[in-house]
Structure 1
Amino acid sequence: MQRHETILNILAKEKHVEVLDLCKQLNVSAVTIRKDLKLLEEKGLLFRTHGGASLENPYIKEKAVIEKEKISVEEKNGIAQAAATKIDENDSIMIASGTTVQALSKFIKPKNKLTVITSSLYAVLHLIHDKNIEILQLGGYIRHSSASVIGTYASQILDSISCSKLFLGVDGIDFDYGLSTTSLEEAQLNQKMLASAQKIIVLADSSKFGKKSFAKICNLNAIDEIITDRGISSTIKKKLEENGVKVTVV
């Protein structure tokens, strides 16, 4: 069917599509589009999501940090370099866990003093050689898959801390579900970080959009900016901006 081919062509370009957007483009009802998406999913050509469809399975399974480091390396480094330019002189920042925010630590070169609070062990290893950087390593249990700390000890420290920026990594970004990660304890620590920072900057390569994972971190309206790569579709970028989120594409 021609309409099915059109849907797949749009999906190939956008990676993720919304039912309402397809209704407008194809001039058919939502009921018709949902039937089309169901048939295409049964054929293994797409995955249905809440309110739309995706080329990839929207539900994320946990991967070890060593495995994730090998994925989208060029994109992550570009995002990390752009994020490093957001750091001001004599700043105080927080770095969460995740391979993209860990990459950020490789590009931080402060002209003067910088304070970094982090749950990431890899970030500390990258930053420790710079005497201009004062590091507060959060303590707690080590989550092996992310090489970061989790738990109540880290959360308690954050009760006494305020910083200018949080650089947050996520496993999924979904317009309805929000930002998510594969670990409930990590999501809870991320929530404490959100409350301790004045500005929330999410570092996420374009593969994270339209995805959701087990543990929700926050809604989209809780963040200020997303730095991502050129793989983001124009539709998703526009929708993020309509939701009040600044989008920086590198």
Structure 2
Amino acid sequence: MFDTNRKEDEMKQLNRKTHILEKLNIQKKVEVETLANELNVSEMTVRRDLEKLENNGELVRTFGGAVPVQTISNEIAYQDKKVKNVFQKRMIAEKAVKRIQDGHIIFLDSGTTTIEIAKMVINLDITLTVITNDISIANVLMDSTIDVIMLGGHLQNSTGSVLGTLTFDLINKLNADLFFLGAHAVDEEYGITAPSIEKAQVKIAMMQSSREIILVTDKSKFANKALFKVCELDELDEIITD
């Protein structure tokens, strides 16, 4: 009798896990409360199932639910990013530069979309100051008439970004009209997230030192999540995307 009951429990558990993974594959996100109602079990039972599935590497638990493993986005090297969605990034940049006015001071976040903005602003016949922590952006602007402030700090070799305490401290001493924010991952529930605490801190500091915040990112960054929170979507003034 004991063995029979144990087999029945194992079968029910297997059926629950199958249901969870199938739903996760379709919806890309599941919630504990919803699963408990669908499976007619307690929320604690669902949480135990999610914990076991996470331990097996089949999902990642979040507050109140879970997401697929592949939606946890890690850092991508610059050489890999610069060849992805180039046409979309250029279209986004064309829209973004229309927001820039004569005399503006702008923050350009590190990233391949913001580099496309840098390539276009050199053709603007205006007085402009660009503050950036991206050495590739500084290089694009180097021979132009634009006033460039290159932030100091620790260079992340794989991305060309300058990060760390020195970067953070200098940003806090500056003020800008616009901040063109690049995103590693964007999600309706989790907002904008970054793959490292240093990168998140720099983005947050730029937000706090800017009058307006404009997110510039292509659609591949949406419905993704990284580890460190930058901001909620309602903290942005505008989103430019494809």
Please list, as runs of the form range in 1=range in 2, the aligned pairs for 1:96-115 lying within 5 A after superposition. 96-108=109-121, 109-115=123-129
Is 2:138 the partner of 1:124?
Answer: yes
The structure richer in helix per residue is: 2
Deviates more, 1:162-171 or 1:211-220: 211-220
SS at match of 2:137: helix
Q: Deviations over 1:69-112 (max 9, x none)?
A: 11111111111111111111111100011111122111112212
| Aligned-partner residue type, residue 112 of structure 1 | I
Q: Deviations over 1:87-140 (max 9, x none)?
A: 111111000111111221111122121000000111111111211x10000001
Residue equivalent to 2:81 = 68
| Aligned-partner residue type, residue 171 of structure 1 | H
CA distance in 2, matches of 1:168, 1:195: 12
Choose 1 or 2 for highest CA Rg.
2
CA distance in 2, matches of 1:186, 1:224: 21
CA distance in 2, matches of 1:119, 1:225: 22
Q: How has the CA–CA distance of structure 1 residues 53 and 78 changed in structure 2, closer, same or farther, with 3 Å as cutoff?
A: farther
Identity %: 34
Q: Supply the RMSD in Å over aligned alpha carbons.
A: 3.5
Deviation at 1:49, TM superposition (A): 7.7
**Misfit runs of 4+, over 2 Å:** 16-19, 29-33, 46-57
SS at match of 1:63: coil
CA distance in 2, matches of 1:172, 1:73: 18
Q: How many residues align?
A: 214
| Aligned-partner residue type, residue 222 of structure 1 | E
Q: Deviations over 1:169-202 (max 9, x none)?
A: 1111122221111121011111111110000001
SS at match of 1:149: strand
Q: TM-score, normalised by structure 2?
A: 0.73
Unaligned runs of 5+ in 2: 1-22, 40-45, 54-58
Unaligned runs of 5+ in 1: 1-6, 24-28, 230-250
| Aligned-partner residue type, residue 154 of structure 2 | Y
Match of 2:187 among 159, 167, 174: 174
Deviation at 1:50, TM superposition (A): 7.0
CA distance in 1, matches of 2:99, 2:189: 28
Q: How has the CA–CA distance of structure 1 residues 96 and 175 changed in structure 2, closer, same or farther, with 3 Å as cutoff?
A: same
